[in-house]
A and B are shown apart, each in its own frame.
Chain A
Amino acid sequence: MADHVNIERRRQAIYGWILLSPAAILLTAFAFYPSLATLWSSFFSRGTRRRPSEFIGGENYADLFSDPTFWKVVTNNLIYAGVTIPVSIAIALGMALWANSKIPARGFVRTAYFTPTVLPMIAAANLWLFFYTPGLGVLDQIGSLFGLPSVNWLGQPETALWAVIIVTIWKEAGFFMIFYLAALQTIPEDLKEAADIEGASRWTYTRRIVLPLLMPTTLFIMVNALINSVKLIDHLFILTKGGPNDASKLILYYIWEMAFAFFDAPHAAAMTILVLAVLGIVAGIKFSYLDKRTHYQ
């Protein structure tokens, strides 16, 4: 009898691994092995024809830390994250509250909010070129109605990053709205009725009941937005190419540029590792802390 159980258990184990093997092979080839290989190659110098690459320890990292462009790019990315995350979440929340309330043309409103989400970032960038082009662009034309001078939004260091940020927010907010909308629809009607009976104003109801109940959704969106602030760089290729003077360059774009334009793979690897470390910390916080705290079902 015990034998039988043993055989069954072994059968299940073999079965499990067979089912898992295609995923395991691909994940190893395109996630785990590349991560380790990146770590490994970040400790080696860039090989040239005359000097083969050699182990140099943390030198690539030291180079990065003494590279002003690196700090510029990190600062840019912090601003990018620091602005796009809260602003797109706030807009998404407003959109969801509106799109969930009984207003006329609700269908149109929802569609308008969500549509940017289904466009490729490249297309979004092309659309926004129309707004930013100096002289001809929509923004300048509106400005000239009020007698404002022409502004080269994408071509000057003070505004380039902000122009990029606006496109990201435009693209993201409608996507996050969906999650809030879903959460709003799970809030029981009787809470609203109870609040009405108690004479609570709509504002009090929103602030005291709706917002706290949306907390788990907000955290979920926040993690997504954080990942997006690393990932969403496609529009840089169209709008600014990171310029002028690196004013709008973001980390992932810099990694791409180092690896595929300057062919400096070791420094790109070192930077990749730093990004992975940050993402790893976020993952750790999410899995160990947030998931435990906000799990209610």
Chain B
Amino acid sequence: MSALSRHIETLGALLLAVIWISPLVFAFWAAFHTTSDAVNFNVAAPWTLDNFRTAWAGAPWLRYFVNTFFLVTVILIGQFVITTLAGFAFAKVQFPGRDFVFILVLMQLFILPEVLIVENYAMVSRLGLFDTILGVGMPYMASAFGIFLMRQAFKGVPIELHEAARVEGCGWFGILWRVYVPLARPTYLAYALVSVSTHWNNFLWPLIVTNSPDTRPLTVGLSIFGAPENGVDISVISAATMMSVAPLLIAFLVFQRQFVQAFLRAGIK
């Protein structure tokens, strides 16, 4: 009985896995076949790269890739600097009003930047950052989530190390840079993976703030490319989709363990 139920469970687990992965596998397969072969499930049909050629010629993909790459880099650098400083202040510096300000910061976890699109758009325009990569990135740099994560990481650093560095004549900044930052390396890595994959995939805000191919990230480019008005056929859309998810997907498959660990570390305090 137990053996039977175990087999059934294994079957269930595998079946769900196959169902879960099938949209991706199917789109991958379709991207390498002509549309008529793809929609007719012609399994024996020859493989072709034509869809990729058509898709590649249909939009400035290279530019989109570069834009997305810049965007995630700018955001990550901004987040590292800002959340390190703020996290350190919350973890290790005593100052009046600290707890109150920390609660304000935590509130931002629920004031989603996505919901404030109208006023954030006004703010970005006022700052003259409309249609710039900096404008896309800025609202995400002072991430409450990141500040919280860094605070937790810095809190775990033993005070003896701090004091030892001080005795050696390190100033505040030196202590932060030489003691805390190196010790929090796993947290930085985790945060980086979560941040990069979030912003690589972000869509609504970049859609609003960008207005030209020079700043548009991949997701926005992909949505414009695949819009029904453009009448692009489905195999070509699949090819474009595969192209734009490939870097992150390959990185994920290679560094799967680190990715999963990162999401865990970031999610569970």
B residues 171-193 with Cβ under 8 Å of A? 172
The reply on B53 being an interface residue by CB < 8 A is no
Report the nearest A residue to B147, measured CB to CB.
A23
Q: Which of A20, A41, A260 has the most CB of B within 10 A?
A: A20
How many whole Å from B33's CB to the nearest CB in chain A? 12
- Cβ 8 A contact of A118, one of B89, B107, B241, B248: B248
- Cβ 8 A contact of B111, one of A19, A31, A98: A31
How many whole Å from B42's CB to the nearest CB in chain A? 12
Cross-chain contact A30 with B260 (CB below 8 angstroms): no
Cross-chain contact A23 with B82 (CB below 8 angstroms): yes
CA distance A19 to B86 in the complex (A): 6
- Cβ 8 A contact of B106, one of A98, A202, A238, A287: A287
Enumerate chain A residues within 8 angstroms of B96, measured Cβ to Cβ.
Answer: 13
Cross-chain contact B201 with A23 (CB below 8 angstroms): no
- Cβ 8 A contact of A113, one of B20, B27, B85, B106: B20
Main secondary structure of the interface of B (DSSP, over half): helix
CA distance A37 to B16 in the complex (A): 47
How many whole Å from B268's CB to the nearest CB in chain A? 6
Enumerate chain A residues within 8 angstroms of B219, measured Cβ to Cβ.
Answer: 120, 122-123, 234
CA distance A116 to B252 in the complex (A): 11
B residues 24-50 with Cβ under 8 Å of A? 24, 26-27, 30, 39, 41
The reply on A219 being an interface residue by CB < 8 A is no
CA distance A128 to B203 in the complex (A): 17
Cross-chain contact B115 with A279 (CB below 8 angstroms): yes
Give per-residue flags for A156-182: 1 if the beta carbon is below 8 A from chain B beta carbons, else 0.
000000000000001001110011001
Cross-chain contact B82 with A38 (CB below 8 angstroms): no
- Cβ 8 A contact of B241, one of A26, A101, A127, A202: A127
How many whole Å from A27's CB to the nearest CB in chain B? 5
How many whole Å from B264's CB to the nearest CB in chain A? 5
Report the nearest A residue to B108, measured CB to CB.
A31
Cross-chain contact B94 with A272 (CB below 8 angstroms): no
Cross-chain contact B115 with A230 (CB below 8 angstroms): yes
CA distance A61 to B12 in the complex (A): 49
Give per-residue flags for B56-94: 1 if the beta carbon is below 8 A from chain A beta carbons, else 0.
000000000000000000000000011101101110011
Give per-residue flags for B89-133: 1 if the beta carbon is below 8 A from chain A beta carbons, else 0.
110011110100100111111111111111111110000000000
Enumerate chain A residues within 8 angstroms of B30, measured Cβ to Cβ.
Answer: 130
A residues 89-118 with Cβ under 8 Å of B? 91, 94-95, 98-99, 101, 103-105, 108-116, 118
Report the nearest A residue to B208, measured CB to CB.
A260
CA distance A116 to B197 in the complex (A): 12
Q: How many residues of B contact A (CB 8 A)?
A: 91
Q: How many residues of A contact B (CB 8 A)?
A: 92
CA distance A119 to B27 in the complex (A): 13
Cross-chain contact A265 with B85 (CB below 8 angstroms): no
Interchain residue pairs with CB less than 8 A apart (23): A12-B93, A13-B94, A15-B172, A20-B85, A20-B89, A26-B82, A31-B113, A34-B122, A98-B16, A103-B10, A105-B17, A120-B245, A121-B203, A122-B203, A128-B23, A130-B27, A141-B41, A178-B260, A178-B267, A237-B203, A252-B114, A252-B115, A260-B117
| Extra contacts besides A141-B39, A269-B119 (13): CB < 8 Å | A15-B95, A23-B83, A23-B105, A24-B142, A27-B142, A33-B123, A103-B13, A118-B197, A130-B26, A220-B267, A227-B112, A279-B115, A287-B106
A: residues with CB less than 8 A from B are 9, 12-17, 19-20, 22-27, 29-35, 37-38, 41, 91, 94-95, 98-99, 101, 103-105, 108-116, 118-124, 126-131, 133, 136, 138, 141, 170, 173-175, 178-179, 182, 202, 220, 227, 230-231, 233-234, 237-238, 252, 255-256, 259-260, 265, 268-269, 272, 275-276, 279-280, 282-283, 287
B: residues with CB less than 8 A from A are 2, 5, 9-10, 12-14, 16-18, 20-21, 23-24, 26-27, 30, 39, 41, 81-83, 85-86, 88-90, 93-96, 98, 101, 104-123, 138-139, 141-142, 144, 147, 172, 197, 200-204, 207-208, 218-219, 222-223, 226, 234, 237-238, 240-241, 244-245, 248-249, 252-253, 256, 259-260, 263-264, 267-268
